[in-house]
Structure 1
Amino acid sequence: METTLKTKSIPQIDSIEELARFWDSHDVTDFEDALEEVVEPVFERFDTSVVTIDLPAKELAAIKQIAKERRVEPITLVREWILEKLYYTELMRRAVKEFHAQ
């Protein structure tokens, strides 16, 4: 006797990593009734450039290990670190400028 499996709905997730994990363990054909055609772009590309960084193997291995522990891609981790450094550098620049203006 064949049984029909009841499928849950597609989760509303903002995280690409979480969505990827969901689809790694589910089949899109189980959700055919919930799918809809999208005619406009879903993701917007920002004006970005690629930067290549030469790192010794030891440092690259450390980045990969930290990224794995945080469950993110290494490039996501490095991008996060760069943006944090830029943010704090700008804060310090403004603080020094304000200090000298007094």
Structure 2
Amino acid sequence: MEKNNVSSISHADSLEKMGEFWDTHDFTDFDTEAPDVECTVTCAVPIELELFSAVEKQAHVHGVIVETLVNLWLQQKLIEQTSIA
């Protein structure tokens, strides 16, 4: 940090002082007008190439993308399994 620069929140004029400030403060305590961010978590599950190819064909037949079809099928299967148990 340059000598003339001061941190807008901590008012620290060095990286060391800034670090000391954030050691004792939480950024959520400050209203920064930053918009909330929505995140989605995705997972990759390896499947056999032939199985993926068959799912791709079914997705095309149903007019949806592979991810949509797989999620729908998994939800249906989980509902079936839950109602059996």
Q: TM-score, normalised by structure 1?
A: 0.43
Write out per-residue CA displacement over residues 59-90 of structure 1, whole angstroms, 9 at most, x where no aligned residue. Answer: 11101000001101100000001100111111
Gaps of 5+ in 2: 1-37
Q: What is the match of residue 69 of structure 2?
A: 77
Once residues 48 and 78 of structure 1 are traced to their aligned partners in structure 2, the CA distance between those partners, rounded to angstroms, is 17
Alpha-carbon shift at residue 51 of structure 1 (Å): 2.2
Partner residue in 2 for 1:91: 83
Greater C-alpha Rg: 2
CA–CA distance in 1 between the matches of 2:40 and 2:76? 17
Alignment of 1:1-102 (within 5 A): 49-93=41-85
Aligned residues: 48
Amino acid at match of 1:59: L
Structure 2 CA distance for aligned equivalents of residues 74 and 49 of structure 1: 17
Matches of 1:51 and 1:85 in 2, distance apart? 18
User: Runs of 4 or more off by more than 2 Å in structure 1?
Assistant: none
CA RMSD of aligned residues (A): 1.7
**Alignment CA distance shift 1:48-1:89 (3 Å):** farther
RCO higher in structure (CA 8 A, sep ≥6)? 1
Q: Aligned AA for 1:62? A: A
User: How far apart, in 2, do the equivalents of 1:56 and 1:87 lie?
Assistant: 24
Q: Among the aligned pairs, what percent are the same residue?
A: 21
Structure 1 unpaired stretches of 5+: 1-44, 94-102
